[in-house]
Structure 1
Amino acid sequence: MRHLTAVSASLVGAFALTACTTTDPYTGQTVRNNTGTGALAGALGGAALGYLTNTNKSAEGRRNAMIGAGVGALAGAAAGSYMDRQQAELRRQLEGTGVDVNRQGDNIVLNMPGDVTFGVDQADIQSRFFPVLDNVARTINAYPQTMVDVIGHADSTGAADYNQRLSERRAGSVAAYLVNRGVMPDRLFVEGRGINQPIASNATPEGRAQNRRVEIILRPLT
């Protein structure tokens, strides 16, 4: 079963008021710092973020929120071309980082292995991975007609309910970091899927390492 928890507007508002800010050296914009990001992730109590500010837990609810914020939808072949440009930029920025950039139709899937992103049995993002997520966030911000799914996964080692919660916490940490870097919360959907969607065999250490991951799925707003 998938576990989703929507964050109330009051929680998001409280984070916005209490988080410290810093200046992005690339854009000059004022953004929330990593301490604030950690506070948001901790305030969630280990639950996935769900649709951060949408009470309607549907793709349509997210589209409506984005359109209501003045983001125009893409039509026809424009969506494919738009995602082509975004994919090319992400491939340039993420080359050599350990993050796979894959295309599935008009969607782009960024596969972030757990051994690159997190310590063993941890949900705090390793500091050496911050620049990678900074690049991802800048690209997402440059392509405002993109919806963003952040999905956590785990291997089958240990209890399934524990791995479910760990996958949620890891997805929440990545999503909170993106919000900290200026990504509009209405664009995000966050979920932990535990052990339910392996991409390799859990019978080998190599396969389990592949299954411990966070995926960012980028979808065009159509």
Structure 2
Amino acid sequence: MQQYTSSNSRKWVRAILLSSITAMVATGCTTVNPYTREDQTAKSTSGALIGAVAGAAIGVASSSKSDRGKGALIGAASGAALGGGIGYYMDVQETKLRQQLESTGISVTRNGDQIVLNMPNAITFGVDQSNLSKQAMDALHNVALVVNEYDKTQLNIYGFTDSTGSESYNLRLSQVRASEVSNYLVRSGVAAKRVLAKGMGEAHPIASNANEQGRSQNRRVEIVLSPTAS
């Protein structure tokens, strides 16, 4: 009994590894994104490989002893397609956002399958104000153009302040600013169910609050785009 179990375990492991390598090779064959003409292999391969391993594990767990090798192969193939697809989807969206937001003052960074748009307060709101500037509205209009095209993403909008003033006041101000950005995106055609606004106050500074340069960096709104499940 022990020999049977060990032998089959090795087969499942080989199936998982084989499926993972196959996913990597298959994804790596397409090195140029047909929409952006940029090399997207690294990100999409990573997503496919992670999906393959996870799918293979699920396939093994949900199959009978006699079918676990087959289950691993099927699960790995499905996982690779899903993982690679999400990475590719976010790759193209990221590139289009970079194009639309060039020279706006809004930075675009990638964190795994998330895209983070950092809107510094210098281009969004006046000091102690909650009305969006014309520059911010123009930039958000461009954001809406892209995210309306790629509707399989959730937009989490976070408002941040520096530590000047009371903590409760800063929390309220950050919520109002996040809501202003959210409302403008909805008015620009983004489905309200895709948008969540939250004020973070003076929490999570990205620079020192001991000087004005640092405080100006902490006063910001971040839009975090994450892939949805469907």
State TM-score, norm by structure 1: 0.66
Can you list the C-alpha shifts for 1:84-121, whole angstroms capped at 9, x where unaligned?
Answer: 00000011111111101000000000000011101110
User: 2: distance between equivalents of 1:117 and 1:205?
Assistant: 17
1:208 aligns to what?
215
Alignment equivalent of 1:219, drawn from 209, 213, 226: 226
Read off the aligned partner of 1:167 and give its amino acid letter: S
User: 2: distance between equivalents of 1:145 and 1:78?
Assistant: 12
Can you list the C-alpha shifts for 1:69-96, whole angstroms capped at 9, x where unaligned?
Answer: xxxxx93211110000000001111111
User: 2: distance between equivalents of 1:194 and 1:137?
Assistant: 25
1:175 aligns to what?
182
User: 1: distance between equivalents of 2:191 and 2:211?
Assistant: 39
Report SS of the residue matched to 1:120.
coil
Aligned length: 149
Long gaps (5+) in structure 2? 1-80
Matched, 1:95 2:102: yes
Deviation at 1:129, TM superposition (A): 2.0
1:198 aligns to what?
205
User: 1: distance between equivalents of 2:137 and 2:171?
Assistant: 24
Long gaps (5+) in structure 1? 1-73
User: 1: distance between equivalents of 2:217 and 2:82?
Assistant: 35
Read off the aligned partner of 2:125 and give its amino acid letter: F
1 or 2 for the larger relative contact order (CA 8 Å, sep ≥6)? 1
Alignment equivalent of 2:160, drawn from 131, 153, 156: 153
1:76 aligns to what?
83
Pick the structure with more helix per residue.
2
Larger Rg: 2
Matched, 1:164 2:171: yes
Deviation at 1:135, TM superposition (A): 0.1
User: 1: distance between equivalents of 2:211 and 2:82?
Assistant: 44
Deviation at 1:169, TM superposition (A): 0.4
User: 2: distance between equivalents of 1:181 and 1:167?
Assistant: 21
User: 1: distance between equivalents of 2:182 and 2:213?
Assistant: 26
Identity in percent:
50
Report SS of the residue matched to 1:88.
helix
Report SS of the residue matched to 1:97.
coil
Report SS of the residue matched to 2:82.
coil
2:137 aligns to what?
130
Deviation at 1:151, TM superposition (A): 0.5
1:46-125 maps to which residues of 2 (within 5 A)? 75-125=82-132
Report SS of the residue matched to 2:145.
helix
User: 2: distance between equivalents of 1:128 and 1:116?
Assistant: 6
User: 2: distance between equivalents of 1:100 and 1:167?
Assistant: 19
Read off the aligned partner of 2:139 and give its amino acid letter: V
Report SS of the residue matched to 1:77.
helix
The two structures, once aligned, show a CA RMSD in angstroms of: 1.0
Read off the aligned partner of 2:143 and give its amino acid letter: V
User: Which consecutive segments of 4 or more residues in structure 1 shift more than 3 A?
Assistant: none
Report SS of the residue matched to 1:134.
helix
User: 2: distance between equivalents of 1:187 and 1:210?
Assistant: 27
